[in-house]
Amino acid sequence: MRLWRKKPRLRQNDQFQIVLYVLLTLLAVFMLLPLIYIFNHALKPYNELFIYPPRIFAQHVTLQNFVELFIVSSSSAVPVTRYVFNSVITTGMIVFAVTIISALCAYPLSKHQFPGRKLLFAVILLSLMFAPETVAIPRYLVAANLGIMNTYWGHLLPNLAAPVSVFLMRQFIDQVPNELMEAAKMDGAGEVTIFLRVVIPMIMPAVATVAILTFQGAWGNVETSRLFMQDEAMKTFPFFLSTLTNGLANNVARQGAAAAAAVILFLPNFIIFLFFQRKVVATMAHSGIK
């Protein structure tokens, strides 16, 4: 009798799982539509870019938009390679600096007892409430007084404060066993050795997540180029993309080049996320568990 009663439950569970898998598959296909659209949009000729109703897939695939982007960039005062170079340099600097600084900030907040520790962490969380627009003027004044306008420091320093990165790192470091650190101290390891050889290897998912999130923010950032860079040669590729269609007599010109540039800007984020998506999921799953 017990076996006879369990079979219907198993069948019901199997049917529920099948329905769940179908719904999740449909949801995944739906979420892929923007990615498919952005790639197809860059391969559409002009007569398909403005067709109504818009179509997701290109009927006549062409690379003319990328050719147009090359022509537009070659005729500008600053070559597009300079914008790309600035983006690569500044993004690499920001990712490295933010990852290191966030880990160095999160480690004492998590594993050391000092006066004002909770207050300091509360202030860091409180800074999440401020929108970037509300601190734009103070940041500009600080950058001007420091003399970092039209330098790579102007791209780097305003982006070093990353409260989200500190929060993720701290929540992950909380899970590192104190016994393991005490054992390292008994073996003669100092704070630097414990941080580099014990803590960092155990929080690599959080490090990878912070690096990805920082890369996405820095690669698409145009604020520093607009506020702190008056020299055109010091501006980044996202800023160049934002100016492709500005100041034109109509809204049709250079739309193909803008679509091609959007794909070029999107590809690094997409590729990096594909390689490190498991680290992101692992970090999000453990960031709230103490």
pLDDT tens digit sequence for 70-80: 777 776 777 87
| Residue 246 CA to its chain's centroid (Å) | 26
pLDDT tens digit sequence for 263-279: 888 888 888 877 776 66
Give residue 93's identity as a one-letter amino acid code.
M
Query: What is the CB neighbour count within 10 angstroms for residue 183?
Result: 12
Q: What single string gives the DSSP state of each residue in 6-52?
A: HHHHHHHHHHHHHHHHHHHHHHHHHHHHHHHHHHHHHT--HHHHT-S
Domain boundaries, the chain: 2-49, 79-286
pTM: 0.78
**Which pair of tokens denotes residue 194?**
């414990």
**CA of 179: how far to CAs of 85, 185, 286, in Å?**
46, 10, 20
3-state SS record for 90-105? HHHHHHHHHHHHHHHH
User: How many Å apart are CA 99 and CA 162, to the nearest integer?
Assistant: 9
Task: Calculate ∠ Cα 229-234-240, nearest 5°.
Answer: 90
Per-residue model confidence (pLDDT) at position 95: 93
pLDDT tens digit sequence for 118-174: 888 888 888 888 777 788 888 888 888 988 899 899 999 888 888 888 988 888 888
Contact 172, 289 (CB under 8 A): no
For domain 79-286, give the fold. MetI-like fold (1.10.3720)
pLDDT tens digit sequence for 179-203: 888 888 888 888 888 888 888 888 8
User: How many Å apart are CA 149 and CA 141, to the nearest integer?
Assistant: 10
pLDDT at 288 over 50: no
Per-residue model confidence (pLDDT) at position 290: 41
